[in-house]
A and B are shown apart, each in its own frame.
Chain A
Amino acid sequence: MTDNHEPNHDILLKMRDIRIDGFSDEQWHPIIKGVDLTLRRGEIMGLIGESGAGKSTLGKAAMGYTQPGCKLTGGSILFDGIDLAKASDREKRRLWGTRIAYVAQSAAASFNPAHRLIDQTVEAANRRGIRPDADSRTDAVELFRALQLPNPETIGSRYPHQVSGGQLQRVMTAMAMSPRPDLIIFDEPTTALDVTTQVEVLSAMRNIVEEFNTAAIYITHDLAVVAQMADFIKVLRYGEEVEQAPTRKMLTQPEEAYTKSLWSVRALEKPEVKGEDIVLSINHVDAAYGPVKVLHDVNISIPRGRTVAVVGESGSGKSTTARVITGLLPPSAGEVVFNGEPLPAALKDRSKDQLQKIQMIYQMADTAMNPRQTVEEIIGRPLEFYLGLTGKAREARVIKLLEMIELDDSFMDRLPSELSGGQKQRICIARALAANPEVIICDEVTSALDQIVQEGILQLLLRLQKQYNITYLFITHDIATVKAISDEIVVMLQGKVVEQGLKSEILAPPFPDYTELLLSSVPEMDPDWLTNLLADRNT
């Protein structure tokens, strides 16, 4: 351990050999397998790892709390000399909300719908009588102001459902800060937010933590985000520590192979190729969900054998565009032209041949495959349905498809639950390929995957494109993915196309305002990015 020689007087939190088990499948499994963690006063630690790495569990354990269904089986948690692993509930309650505070991922669900925001903000401070109620309320307003919330004097009298997600997340930070805790646990606080909102929330949180010199553990899976927040970073994987280092050192000289793999992903970039032969075009499309109009005069042309990336934030209409193309949502005006012929607007009016030529891959491979069907049934169905293959011929083709996606015939009998996340997405790709499509719509296909797996999927998609001249419409909010895979880019905002063009044109200045905002809001792997960005925006 590197910190053995340091003086102990400013150590706030010292966790040793933490072991936590979780209950699933009728038995206890280790989730955290002996992790150490040391945090000094005023320090911010970034805790990163992929889903299932145990980072959230470890973060909560720093408070001496384990979720229902989990139990602490070993180790000590010394917070300012008190061992939370052995402390009674009553002792822990005295610390929680006053000296240790927690900021949860979903602000909307974590506020009590029945109480005003200000009452919830001052609740913990008042309970322990830190200061008179009136002072707490004045202080809360000051915190709201410091966190750049609109109308800081009055926002507290609102109820949780009356303010937006980004604002709620900042109110929760104020709630955590109100009793001036020594330690705040931030548990993926910006994951549910759009990138442009994320920037505001991140800067507000960073400022306030710095102002009060509060120690913090910042949990996230986003390396670029943690680089802005943390003094040092701890990487977790499968419940074990991989590596820990100061932020700058971690970014420039990672030691472990796994950590390097996390960093290297962003290197992939496909050289763009201009395409002339338009395979699919969307002409003047308007679409609405009931009375709510969500697409306004959308025009997109997709050249054969190329990748067009559609980027935008949630609510920009990018997924709706996909629904219009597939016929799930018939447009209220305009048309979709495929190979020079207009497609019938509604799914049920399209011919089997038309359906076959446009396939779709989903974001969540988990929900895109029937959990009760085997891989062979999943891939085999389009073969049977479109191509009429049965028996041996079908089996042979399934094996061939499995090879195309770099898997083998040992996967034939598996159920989706017996596959890893990346394998699931590969099976979904194989299912789309089985139809011999000309166009594949990829809806955020990599955003639910771990970084290293993302890279594998993207490379596979590129290789398949080259081999079979497949056209991709790639919907994503992740600029790194766009860089990696696209030839052309379409930027969407509030149901309208803001910009369309070759990658090199869109990603080079000068930018229209929104593209600029969108691009600049994507966190970069540079500890100074946020500081520089805020400085830029202020001038």
Chain B
Amino acid sequence: MNAVLSTILKRLGLGIATLFVVSAIIFSSISMLPGDFSEAVLGQAATKETVTAFRKELGLDKPAPVRYFEWVGSVLQGDFGTSFSGRNASGQDRSRQVVDLVMPRLWNTLFLAGVTALIAVPLALFLGLTAALYRNTAYDRVVNAATLTTISTPEFFVAYILILFFASLWPVFPSLANIDASTALGERLYRVALPALTLTLVIVAHMMRMTRAAIINLLASPYIEMARLKGASRSEIILKHALPNAWAPIATVIAFNLAYLVVGVVVVEVVFVYPGIGQLMVDAVTSRDIPVVQACALIFAATYILLNLTADIIGIVTNPRLLHPR
């Protein structure tokens, strides 16, 4: 077990280091702001005093490394700073804490992504597995062409087609997925139906193709041919010989696609005006509300890193070479 443990620890260390560097990149982006930025935020009429005060608040008067560690320290305590919006030239400040803006929306996004994953992951694994097993049949070709078309299509195209049919022509679902904290679960599910369906279509296509490729790759191993020549039936080959070696590639496929899902929500949230973190980020980018952008970017990156880390750890704990060292 020691080999497994040390490999996991190494991988964890790498994950933390990556997160650290990523946070540094995200942080240093604020230093790249053009000089006139304070004016852009506060307006042309800003007085010298308000500008200086604002710069001081941003900590632009301190050296960058100091600011970075202060920032990391407060982020670790859940403090992402204060939003840029709501300020004006006179120095009046009605801005809100970034955390208060981000948190409720983060839960909404996780809800949407979770609902999608629950449908998409099993469906994609099933389609990918069957396409790999019955490869080069008509079934395989149809599934292949359909998924190739889907992955080539922008998310918003899929979204608007669904809206056209299921919200406009036959209004079964709402085209606006506006929910808030008071919305009941059943109502929530009803409202996120179209965004979740859009995401499902996109994710299933990607994931099914990757699953198919991973399984076909596995089935080309000499030990699978050996199993055939030992008289194993098709189901035995899959369950007994391929599956125990398939966890690592399958975990990688799932993690990759969940990570993709997290990013894919941005566009879909905007189409359906869903109050998630993606839409928040796009709004913040448009209004150049840097603290909010930073917070969102950090959350997205952390999710991404965490998912890949999980996949790698699943790969490690199912690797017989590590489980049973020489």
Query: Which residues of A come within 8 Å of B, CB atoms?
Result: 60, 63, 65, 67, 93-98, 101-102, 104, 106, 109-115, 123-124, 127-128, 158-159, 161-162, 175
Contact = CB atoms under 8 A, between A and B. Distances in A.
Interface string B240-268: 01001100000000000000000000000
Nearest to B247: A114
A114 B245 contact: yes
Contacts of A111: 223, 226
Contacts of A114: 244-245, 320
Nearest to B219: A68
Contact of A127 (B231, B245, B326): B231
- Top 9 closest pairs, chain A to chain B, by CB: A97-B230, A97-B231, A114-B244, A96-B231, A109-B222, A102-B229, A110-B226, A124-B230, A112-B223
A112 B241 contact: yes
Nearest to B236: A127
B2 interface: no
Given A159-B324, A161-B326, A162-B326, A110 B230 contact: no
Contact of B245 (A63, A109, A113): A113
A497 B225 CA distance: 42
Given A98-B231, A159-B320, A115 B222 contact: no
Contact of A113 (B223, B230, B233, B236): B223
A532 B310 CA distance: 59
Contacts of A109: 221-223
A124 B231 contact: yes
B244 A96 contact: no
Contacts of A63: 229
A65 B230 CA distance: 12
Contacts of B241: 112
Contacts of B244: 112, 114-115
B222 A110 contact: yes
Contacts of A128: 231
Contacts of B228: 65, 96
B56 interface: no
A118 B304 CA distance: 41
27 contacts: A65-B228, A67-B225, A93-B231, A93-B232, A97-B232, A98-B231, A102-B226, A102-B229, A104-B225, A104-B226, A109-B221, A112-B226, A112-B241, A112-B244, A112-B245, A113-B245, A113-B320, A113-B321, A114-B244, A115-B244, A123-B230, A124-B231, A128-B231, A158-B324, A159-B321, A162-B326, A175-B230
Nearest to B325: A162
B167 interface: no
Interface string B201-223: 00000000000000000000111
A161 B324 CA distance: 9
Contacts of B236: 127
Contacts of A124: 230-231
Contact-residue bracket for chain B: 20 to 34
Given A104-B222, A109-B221, A114-B245, A161 B321 contact: yes
Contacts of B320: 113-114, 159, 161
Given A113-B223, A114-B244, A124-B231, 14 more contacts: A63-B229, A65-B229, A97-B229, A98-B231, A101-B229, A101-B230, A104-B226, A109-B222, A110-B222, A110-B223, A114-B245, A124-B230, A161-B321, A161-B324
A172 to B, nearest CB: 8
A104 B223 CA distance: 10
Contacts of B225: 67, 104, 110
A126 B225 CA distance: 19
Nearest to A102: B229
Contacts of A110: 222-223, 225-226
A101 B226 CA distance: 10
Contacts of A161: 320-321, 324, 326
A431 B190 CA distance: 73
Given A113-B321, A159-B324, A96 B226 contact: no
B160 to A, nearest CB: 42
A293 to B, nearest CB: 21
Contact of B227 (A60, A94, A98, A112): A112
Contacts of A104: 222, 225-226
A481 B267 CA distance: 68
A351 B233 CA distance: 63
Contacts of B221: 109
A59 to B, nearest CB: 11
A211 to B, nearest CB: 22
A93 B226 contact: no
Contacts of B226: 102, 104, 110-112
Contacts of A65: 228-229
Contacts of B229: 60, 63, 65, 96-97, 101-102
A161 B326 CA distance: 7
Contact of B324 (A67, A95, A162): A162
Given A115-B244, A161-B326, A94 B231 contact: yes
Contacts of B223: 109-113
Nearest to A176: B230
A124 to B, nearest CB: 4
Contacts of B324: 158-159, 161-162
A95 B230 CA distance: 9
Contacts of A123: 230, 232
A93 B234 CA distance: 10
The winner among B231, B233, B244, B321 for most chain A CB atoms within 10 A is B231
A115 to B, nearest CB: 7
Nearest to A178: B230
Nearest to B233: A93
A96 B326 contact: no
B42 to A, nearest CB: 58
A191 to B, nearest CB: 14
A60 B225 CA distance: 11
Nearest to A162: B326
Contacts of A113: 223, 245, 320-321
| Max chain A C-beta neighbours (<10 A), residue from B223, B228, B245, B321 | B223
A106 B232 CA distance: 20
B248 to A, nearest CB: 11
Nearest to A68: B220
Nearest to A113: B320
Nearest to B244: A114
Given A109-B222, A114-B244, A127 B232 contact: yes
